């Protein structure tokens, strides 16, 4: 080997070592950077010229795409289950359990106890007043549950709007990065940093809508939802949604009063079972707004209807005429079965006995339609009110099964249903979280190992020293030749 060949070989080695050191340093510095993939330098022997040296082929970005794809799907499932579990937990908390002060079951028990107490001393005004307040507390508790359910729907609607905006921005970002990566690769410049940014954006997209990634030419990618919808193929799809901000019990996606979802102006199915974007946090919010909360609302409305029907029966209170509202009313009106939707929000105590509205508590003892106070010692109506509260009867609405239920039984069934749904979702969440954790650990195992990188850096230092020694030796030999 000639001196010039040795010099050229050593110089190419130093250049490769310098580039390798830069990559290793970058790996160590970004070991905990989200989306960063470990890089290595690809080198080979260069014998194309008169001298043998080291050729730098490029930078290799190490990712296990299958693990990343599986992790994304697990993250979408975890986000979906987390959102539905949170919504069900909130509704469950609104209803409460019998041992909780202020729960629906506790309010029913308090009301029943106030009736029993008043029955023992029907002449005691304070006991009759306690019945009125107990009935009003029960009505207001049902109001609060219904309003909490609508607040959950409103929150879901706002979340959908925010996620659609994020999703559109992220898809546009991937489209832009695709173009930059193609351009960079065409110029034979390393595009790893751009690919890291794109991976982060796709991770964000997949949490909202689980996606499948398809590689395209020159480093570009296409994105499809697991339901088959094209989200990015060259150009990004545009999702559309019109927020309602405040959702009422009378609005639904079926009657068009609530917005659905569009892709490039075309409406798509947003159901949790066969929706084309199902599986992520976006459809979870649609499920909360359009399925979970409305189902809970219909059950609470059925409870309100049962209360109104029980106490406006003239066989219970003979002083009531046809069409007269009973102890519980629909905003002061008698029950209209055609307007059951939202009844839980409108449920109220009859103003005739509502102390806060100037009502008179003696009417609870003598009848809502009584012209004047009757026998102060007559507890027959109070006993009838107590009995009708605990009487079991088939339910005209709601989904409580074929069994006959008392008011307490309806509340218990409602609480049990919501609790069972929440428990089922919680189990699914635990499974999805465990799966996500395992896949995350697998992805991290393929990431940057700082110990291995330091070892690689030591090898590079040795290679640098060897090449530097060759340069020094060649320099000494040139000096010797020049002195001859």
Q: What is the pLDDT of residues 338-378, one digit of tens each?
A: 999 999 999 999 999 999 999 999 999 999 999 999 999 99
Q: Is the per-residue pLDDT at 473 higher than 90?
A: no
Question: Please, what is the average pLDDT of the chain?
Answer: 90
- pLDDT tens-digit profile of 11-34? 877 887 888 888 788 878 877 777
Average pLDDT over residues 454-469: 81
Question: What string of DSSP letters covers 157-192?
Answer: HHHHHHHHHHHHHHHHHHHHHHHHHHHHHHTT---H
Distance in angstroms (rounded) separating the CA atoms of residues 153 and 294 = 8
More confident position, 87 or 465 = 87
Per-residue pLDDT band for 462 (boundaries 50, 70, 90) equals: confident
Residue 13 has a CB neighbour count (10 Å cut-off) of: 20
Distance in angstroms (rounded) separating the CA atoms of residues 169 and 165 = 6
Structural element, H or E, at residue 419: helix 407-445
- Per-residue confidence (pLDDT) for residue 82, from 0 to 100: 96
- Per-residue confidence (pLDDT) for residue 74, from 0 to 100: 95
Average pLDDT over residues 377-390: 94
Average pLDDT over residues 153-172: 97
Average pLDDT over residues 75-93: 96
Per-residue pLDDT band for 482 (boundaries 50, 70, 90) equals: confident
3 state SS for 286-355? HHHHHHHHHHHHHHHHHHHHHHHHHHCCCCCCCCCCCCCCCCEEECCECCCHHHCCCHHHHEEECCCCCH
Distance in angstroms (rounded) separating the CA atoms of residues 173 and 432 = 28
Distance in angstroms (rounded) separating the CA atoms of residues 245 and 412 = 32
Query: Which residue has tokens 């029993």?
Result: 116
- pLDDT tens-digit profile of 121-130? 999 999 999 9
Per-residue pLDDT band for 100 (boundaries 50, 70, 90) equals: confident
Angle at CA 82, nearest 5°, toward 73 and 227? 35
- Per-residue confidence (pLDDT) for residue 75, from 0 to 100: 95
Burial 100-139 (b: 16+ CB within 10 A, else e): eeebbbbbbbbbbebbebbbeebeeeebbbbbbbbbbbbb
User: Tokens representing 437?
Assistant: 């954790």
- Per-residue confidence (pLDDT) for residue 50, from 0 to 100: 61
- Per-residue confidence (pLDDT) for residue 60, from 0 to 100: 78
Q: Is the per-residue pLDDT at 322 higher than 80?
A: yes
- Per-residue confidence (pLDDT) for residue 153, from 0 to 100: 97
- Per-residue confidence (pLDDT) for residue 224, from 0 to 100: 95
Q: Is the per-residue pLDDT at 261 higher than 90?
A: yes
Average pLDDT over residues 468-481: 77
Per-residue pLDDT band for 283 (boundaries 50, 70, 90) equals: very high
pLDDT over 90, % of the chain: 68
Q: Is the per-residue pLDDT at 77 higher than 90?
A: yes
- Per-residue confidence (pLDDT) for residue 51, from 0 to 100: 60
Q: Is the per-residue pLDDT at 412 higher than 90?
A: yes
Q: Is the per-residue pLDDT at 1 higher than 60?
A: no
pTM of the model: 0.87
The full set of domain ranges for the chain reads 3-62+450-483, 69-436
């Amino acid at each position: 080997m000639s001196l010039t060949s040795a010099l050229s070989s050593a110089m190419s080695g130093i250049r490769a070592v310098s580039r390798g050191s830069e990559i290793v340093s970058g790996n160590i510095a970004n070991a905990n950077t989200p989306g960063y993939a470990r890089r290595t330098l690809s080198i080979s022997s260069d014998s194309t010229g008169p001298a043998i040296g080291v050729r730098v082929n490029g930078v290799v970005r190490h990712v296990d795409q299958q693990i990343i794809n599986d992790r994304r799907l697990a993250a979408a499932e975890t986000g979906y289950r987390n959102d539905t579990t949170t919504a069900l937990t909130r509704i469950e908390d609104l209803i409460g359990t019998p041992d909780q002060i202020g729960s629906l079951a506790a309010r029913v028990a308090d009301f029943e106890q106030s009736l029993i107490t008043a029955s023992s001393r029907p002449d005691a005004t304070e006991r009759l007043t306690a019945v009125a307040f107990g009935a009003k507390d029960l009505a207001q508790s049902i109001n609060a549950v219904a309003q909490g359910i609508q607040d959950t729907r409103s929150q879901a609607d706002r979340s959908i709007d925010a996620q659609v905006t994020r999703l559109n921005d992220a898809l546009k970002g991937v489209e832009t990065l695709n173009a930059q990566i193609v351009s960079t690769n065409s110029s034979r410049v390393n595009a790893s940093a751009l690919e890291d940014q794109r991976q982060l954006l796709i991770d964000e997209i997949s949490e909202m809508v689980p996606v499948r990634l398809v590689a395209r030419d020159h480093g570009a990618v296409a994105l499809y939802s697991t339901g088959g919808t094209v989200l990015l193929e060259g150009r990004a799809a545009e999702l559309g949604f019109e927020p309602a901000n405040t959702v009422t019990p009378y609005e639904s996606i079926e009657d068009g009063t609530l917005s659905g979802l569009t892709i490039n102006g075309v409406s798509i199915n947003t159901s949790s079972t066969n929706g084309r974007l199902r599986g992520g946090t976006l459809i979870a919010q649609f499920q909360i707004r359009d399925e979970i909360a409305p189902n809970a609302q219909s059950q609470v409305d059925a409870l309100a209807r049962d209360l109104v029907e029980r106490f406006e029966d003239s066989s219970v209170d003979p002083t009531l005429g046809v069409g007269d509202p009973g102890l519980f009313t629909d905003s002061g009106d008698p029950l209209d079965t055609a307007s059951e939707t939202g009844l839980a929000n409108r449920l109220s105590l009859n103003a005739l006995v509502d102390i806060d509205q100037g009502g008179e508590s003696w009417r609870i003892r003598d009848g809502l339609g009584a012209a004047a106070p009757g026998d102060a010692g007559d507890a027959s109506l109070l006993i009838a009110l107590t009995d009708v509260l605990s009487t079991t009867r088939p339910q005209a609405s709601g989904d409580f099964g074929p069994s006959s239920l008392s008011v307490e039984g309806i509340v218990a069934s409602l609480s049990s249903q919501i609790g069972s749904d929440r428990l089922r979702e919680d189990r699914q969440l635990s499974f999805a979280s465990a799966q996500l954790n395992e896949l995350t650990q697998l992805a991290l195992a393929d990431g940057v190992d700082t110990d291995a990188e330091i070892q690689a850096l030591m090898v590079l230092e040795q290679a640098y020293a060897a090449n530097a020694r060759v340069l020094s030796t060649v320099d000494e030999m040139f000096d010797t030749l020049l002195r001859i």
